[in-house]
Amino acid sequence: MSTLGYEAELRSERSYVEGLYTRLDAERARVKGEFQAALRGNGGTAVERDVEVRALAKEAKRLDVADNGLCFGRLDTISGHHSYIGRIGIFDEQNQYEPVLLDWRAPAARPFYTATGANPENMRRRRQFLTRGRQVVDFTDEVFGHPGEDDRGDAALLAAVNAPRGEGMRDIVATIQAEQDEIIRLDHPGVLVIEGGPGTGKTVVALHRVAYLLYTQRERMERHGVLVVGPNPAFLNHIGRVLPSLGESDVVFMTPGDLVPGLRVTAEDAPDAARLKGSLKILDVLTAAIADRQRLPEQPIPIQLKDVTVRIDAETAEWARDEARSSGLPHNEARSVFAEIVTYVLTERALGRIGKGWLTRSDREAWEEMRADLLKELAEDEVFTAALDELWPILTPETLLGPLYSSPERLRAAGADQALLRTDGEAWTVSDVPLLDELVDMLGRDKAVDKAAEQAAERERKADAEYAAGVMDIMRLDYEEMDEDVLLRADDLLRSTELADRFVERDTRELVERAAADRDWTYRHVVVDEAQELSEMDWRVLMRRCPNRSFTVVGDLAQRRSAAGARSWGAMLDPYVPGRWVYRSLTVNYRTPAEIMNVAAAVLAEFAPGVQPPESVRANGVQPWSKRVTEDELTAAIEEFVRDEADREGTSVVIGPPGVPGTVPASETKGLEFDAVLVVEPEQILADGPRGAAELYVALTRATQRLGVLHQGPLPQALSGLAEAVQV
C-alpha cells in the first residue's frame, strides 16, 4: 500500500470509528435518561421499577467499559463485505438487526482470531487497529493468500506483549490467538482443564471464556452468576478488571480462604498438616470427632421433678444415641431423636412411680394429663436441658473443630494425627476452610435457632403491617377535607402493591453481594485458577458450589507447591465428573522473553524433567544477570534495584525466601507479571525441597522484560548459566 493510500485509509477508518463513538455516546445518553426517570418513578409498581433500575444500571455499565478500544479491527470477506470487530456490539439505528460493530464474542467475529493463510475461512483481509483513547493512530493488515511486504499481522500482538505492565491484567480481545480462541469458544458443558506453563495466557483465556459463556448463555447463567477462585487477594486484584472491561459484572471473586462467609483466615498450615487436612481421609476424622461429642454419662444424672426424681443412666443414653445415629440425620437435627427417646424413658419411669398403687392403666385420661405435666416439667428443667447439652450438644463447625485441634485427647479419640495439634484451635488456616464447610452439612441446622429466627421475622412482619395500617389511618385524617373521589383514589393508591412492596422486606443487594455472603449459593459456572494447588477437600467445596459441574480449571502441575495439591487432573476430577472433563494445553509463552525462559527451563528440567517448557514467542535481547553479595551488601543491593526500577516505566518486584527484608514470597506472586524481577537468595528458596524448586520456577517466570538474581552463597547448579554481572 502506498503512503498516500495508507493515509487515505487511515482517515477513513478514523472517521468510521468516530461515528461508532457518536452512536455510543447517544446510547449512553438515552440509557442515562431512562435510568434517571426510573429512579424518580415513572409508573408501575415498586418491584417493576426496581427491576427496570437494575437493568438500566447494568446496561450503563456495559456501555461504560467501551470507551477505550471500542473498535480494534476489521474483517474483509472475499466478496468485499466489511465487518468491524469491537468490545461490544452496536447496531444500526434504522435497522436494529444490522450490526455496525460486531461484539468480539459473536460467531461472525470468530474468523478475526482464527483465519490463517492456510485456512482463510472466506476472509480476504484482517485489519488490526492501534488506538489511543478514542482515536485510531495506526493499523496493520494481514492479507490472506496475498500478503504484501508491509503487512504485519502480528504487530498488535508484539506491541501488547512488549508494552509495560500496569497495575492489573489487561484483556486480550484485540490479540487473541487461534490456539486461545478455540479454547474460549469450546462448546463443552462439563469441566474444561486448561494447562499451560508460565506466560501462556491461561488465566486471561479462562476469563475471556467466562465472558463468552455469559454472552452466549446469558439467560441461563446471569441469575446465579459466576465464581472465580484465585490463589490470593493480590492475584484477584490483578485480574479483577478483565471481566468488567468486557462488560461482565455478575462475577464473584474469592480465594479458597473466602469460601466460608464470615470466616477469618489468619495462617497457613505446615506441609504435613496441610496434607492431612487436604486428604479425603480427614472425613473419617470429622465423623469420629462428631461421634466423640455424643457422650454417655459416666454416672447416672438425677433429674429432680416435682413429685419424683428420675435418672439418665448410660443404658438409656446409649439407646437414645443408637436411635439418633441410625436416623441418618445430621448431628444437630438428630438431637431431637436423642431427646425424644430420653424423654420417653424418663416420663415412663416417672409415671410408673407416681401412679403406682392408686392409678390403673385404664385411667387413660389421667395418665395423659400426668404425661403432659411431666413433659412440661422436663422441657423447663434446667438440669435436664444441661444434661442434653452435655450428652448431645448443639455444635457449630467452629465449636467442633477448634476444641479438636487444641486437645491431644480429642485428636486421639478421633483417630487423628497429632500433627493437627495447635495451641489456638481457632486460628483458622486455608486448609481448615473445606473442613469447616464440610461440617456445615455434617452437623446440620439447629432447628430451635431456626424456629426462633422465623418467629422473630413473623413478629417483624406483623409490626410492619400495623405500621402500614397506621400510615393509612393518618392519611385518611389528613384527607378529611378532600372530595370523596379524591380520598377513594388516595386510599386505593395506598392499598396497591406499591404499599405492600414498601413494607415487605426485599433483598436489594447486587447479585455479587448476595452470593458472596451466602454459603449455600450455587453458581452456574466456576473458574478455578492455580488449580494444581487445590486439595481433594477443596474440590468437595467447589463441587457443592456448582451442582451442574460447569467449570473452567486453569493450572500448571509443574508449578504445584501445596503438599495436598494435584499430582494429576484425573485424580481430582474423576470422582465427580468421570467422562465429563476435557483437557486443553497452551504451549506458546507470550509473556516471558526467551532469554529469561531459558533460565527457568533449566530449573524445570531438574525437578520436573518430563515437562516441556512453553516456547517463548519473542526475545528481547536483555540477558538475565546474577550478582554475588555479602550479607552486609544485600540490603543495599536490593534498594539499588528498587531505585533503578522506579525510574523506569512499568512494574517491578523483589522475590525472596521468608524472612529476608524487602522481599515477598514467590507464592504471593503466582499468576502475576512484572516488567522487572529481582530474585534474592535462590539457594534458600530451593532448600524447601520439591516445593522450593516450584517456588523458584514461579519466581523466575514473573518477569516480562528484565531478570536479576542476588545471592550470598554459590548459585544453585540450575542457575549456573547466569552471567555474573552488574545490574543492567
Whether residue 227 contacts residue 392, with contact meaning beta carbons closer than 8 Å, is answered with no
Q: What is the DSSP string of 201-226?
A: -HHHHHHHHHHHHHHHSHHHHTTT-E
Please identify which residue in the block is written with the cell numbers 452512536.
Answer: 23
Residue 263 zone, left/alpha/beta (φ > 0; ψ -120 to 50; rest): beta
C-alpha neighbours within 13 Å on the C-beta side of residue 30: 9
CA distance 156 to 661: 40
Helix (H, G, I), strand (E, B) or coil at 90: strand
How many C-beta neighbours within 10 Å does residue 60 have?
Answer: 15
Annotated binding site: 196-203
Helix (H, G, I), strand (E, B) or coil at 380: helix
In order of 129, 588, 622, the CA distances from 617 in angstroms are 21, 6, 15
CA-wise closest residue to 107 among 75, 149, 139, 141: 75
Which parts of 444-483 fold into alpha helices (H)?
Answer: 447-478
Q: What angle do CA 122, 128, 134 make, to 5 degrees?
A: 135
Annotated binding site for ATP: 196-203
Element (H, E) at 606: helix 594-607
Per DSSP bridges, beta strands 82-86 and 71-77 are antiparallel
Whether residue 243 contacts residue 401, with contact meaning beta carbons closer than 8 Å, is answered with no
CA-wise closest residue to 667 among 576, 559, 584: 559
CA-wise closest residue to 124 among 69, 79, 167: 79
Residue type, 16: Y
In terms of Cβ atoms closer than 10 Å to its own Cβ (0-12, 13-18, 19+), residue 578 is exposed
Whether residue 371 contacts residue 347, with contact meaning beta carbons closer than 8 Å, is answered with yes
Strands (E), 243-381: 251-254, 301-304, 309-312
CA distance 350 to 359: 13
Which parts of 202-330 fold into alpha helices (H)?
Answer: 202-216, 218-221, 233-239, 242-245, 271-278, 282-292, 314-326
